[in-house]
Every structure is written in structure tokens, then in C-alpha cells.
Amino acid sequence: MALIELSGIERSFLLGDTTVHALAGLNLQIAAGEYVAVMGPSGSGKSTLLNLLGLLDRPNAGTYKLEGRDVTTLSPEEQATVRSTRIGFVFQSFHLVPRLSAAENIALPMTLAGIPSAERDKRVSQALKDFGLENRADHKPDQLSGGQRQRVAIARATIMQPALILADEPTGNLDRHTGEEVINLLEALNARGVTLIVVTHDQSMGARARRQLVMEDGQLKSDSRTTT
């Protein structure tokens, strides 16, 4: 059974008087544990696809099955629960809450899910150790370097042990060296069985994934697998 099953997905936006088809008749299957890079020019529908997969957006038509369950018909509350427990997000601009410390940012998904603080502290200290952030726990985001910020964001995305991690240009704001570090981290997570979907402009980074999806005008232009 595929982790993700998209069939006949349509998503259109109304821009002024014209309707823009961001996604048109998209069919896609992604199995659990895959490492997928989504590429394509701006406006090709990559981000819309990612938002849809992350349940931040709803398709106008078509069905989206996550782990065999049709999630497009769920209520907003149920979708929030799915996001909380099954999906982790990593953003280009990190999206850390500026007034919270690194540890508090990592704990945020658990706080929102209502997990008791003793359990939270245990998991956060483990995550800080895993991501090499032990002596940055009480730092605010503006006291951290870009690479550290993205590591905090990745720690936050994985703290609920999701099945799926969606990364939108995770290295877009980082220099090559730190970008490399971050990608290594994500790949290490994938090696442990987490499904990883990365949206990127970077050809070399896309080439590292085992499967490349190229989007154009809301449709899948190519779907190739690298055999390693």
C-alpha cells in the first residue's frame, strides 16, 4: 500500500478574472520510505502540491489518500490531528517563533498536541542531543546561525515522529556548506524509514534523491528514479 495516493487532483486559483490551474489532473503514488525531490520552474505547481500533501490546502477535485485513508473529506479539526501526528514541515525561512527558545520551538508541536511537560522535556533533550544543539537549548532564534536554525526546525518537524517530512527549499537560505549539513540530516532521517519529500530548485540536490518529479504547468512532466 502506498503511503500517498493522489488521483485526479485539480487545484485552481482565481486571479482577477482568470482561473489559474495550479494542478491539473495529477496522479501520483509515493510509497513509504521513499526519498522524492520535486523540481520544476516557478509557478509549475510544486508548492501547491506540497501544501496539498501537507493538508494545508484542499484540492478542488480528486482524492488524496494518506496511509490508505481519504484525507480530503476530513474536517479541519481531523486534518489538524493528521498534520500533528503524521506530517512534519521544514520551511525555507525556518519559521521559528522568535520569542521562544530553541528548546521551546522544538517542543511546540508537542505542546499543541497536549503532551505532558515531563514527556516533552525528555524528548526535547534527546532531540537536542541528536541534532547537536545541546548548548543552544536556551538560545532564541536570533542568537542562532542559519544552519542551527534549520536544525532546530528539523528537530521540531521530527519530534512527533511523523511518517512524512515535507521540506520546502530547506537549503534555500543557507550557504552551500551548511546546506550540505542540513541535507545530510534529512537523508539520515530518510535512512531510518521516514518518507522525505523535498521541493527544490537546486539540480544537484535534486539529483541526490532516489526519485525525481519534474513539474510543469501543474502537471507531472517526468518521474524518474535513480538506481543506486
Partner 1 sequence: MRLADTLRFARDAATGYPMRTTLSILAMSIGVAAVVILTALGDGARRYVVGQFSSLGTNLVIVLPGRSGTGGFNPANAITSTPRDLTVDDAASLKRLPGARRVAPLAVGTSEINYGGKLREVMVAGSTAEFIPIRNFELAQGKALPEEDWNRGSSVAIIGAKIRDELFASEAALGQLIRLGDRRLRIIGVLKSTGQGLGMNTDELVIVPVSLAQSMFNSNTLFRIMIEANTRDAIPATKEQVLELLKQRHRGEEDVTVITQDAVLATFDKLLGALTLGVAGIAAISLAVAGILVMNVMLVAVTQRTGEIGLLKALGATARTIRFAFLAEAAMLSAVGALVGYLLGQLGAFALRQFFPVFPAYPPDWAVIAGLSTALATGLLFGVMPARRAAQLDPVQALMKR
Which span sits near partner 1 by CB under 8 A: 51-59, 176-184, 192-200, 215-223?
51-59
Q: Which is nearer to partner 1, 102 or 208 (CB)?
A: 102
The bridge status of strand 211-216 relative to strand 35-39 is parallel
Mapped onto helix, strand or coil, the DSSP state of residue 145 is coil
| 51 near partner 1 (CB under 8 A) | yes
* 57 touches 11 (CB < 8 A): yes
Could you tell me the smallest distance in angstroms from the CB atom of residue 87 to partner 1? 8
| 156 near partner 1 (CB under 8 A) | yes
Burial call 129-150: b when 16+ CB within 10 Å, e when fewer? ebbebeebeebebeebeebbbb
* 170 touches 186 (CB < 8 A): yes
Q: Which is nearer to partner 1, 29 or 92 (CB)?
A: 92
Could you tell me the smallest distance in angstroms from the CB atom of residue 204 to partner 1? 26
137-143 LR contacts (CB < 8 Å, sep 24+): 137/101, 137/102, 137/103, 138/101, 138/102, 138/103, 139/101, 139/102, 140/98, 140/99, 140/100, 140/101, 140/102, 141/94, 141/96, 141/97, 141/98, 141/100, 141/102, 141/105, 142/98
Length of the chain: 228
Binding mask 92-121 for partner 1 (x = CB under 8 A): -x-x-xxxx-------xx-xxxx-xx----
Could you tell me the smallest distance in angstroms from the CB atom of residue 69 to partner 1? 16
* 6 touches 62 (CB < 8 A): yes
Q: Which is nearer to partner 1, 82 or 208 (CB)?
A: 82
Q: How many residues bind partner 1 (CB under 8 A)?
A: 29
Which span sits near partner 1 by CB under 8 A: 91-99, 144-152, 182-190, 198-206?
91-99
Could you tell me the smallest distance in angstroms from the CB atom of residue 118 to partner 1? 12
Could you tell me the smallest distance in angstroms from the CB atom of residue 215 to partner 1? 17
Q: Which is nearer to partner 1, 196 or 212 (CB)?
A: 196
Closest CA relative to residue 131, chosen from 152, 116, 158, 106:
152
| 84 near partner 1 (CB under 8 A) | yes
| 74 near partner 1 (CB under 8 A) | no
Report the amino acid identity of residue 23: L
Question: Where do contacts with partner 1 occur on this chain (CB under 8 A)?
Answer: 51, 54, 56-57, 76-77, 80-81, 83-85, 89, 91, 93, 95, 97-100, 108-109, 111-114, 116-117, 156, 160
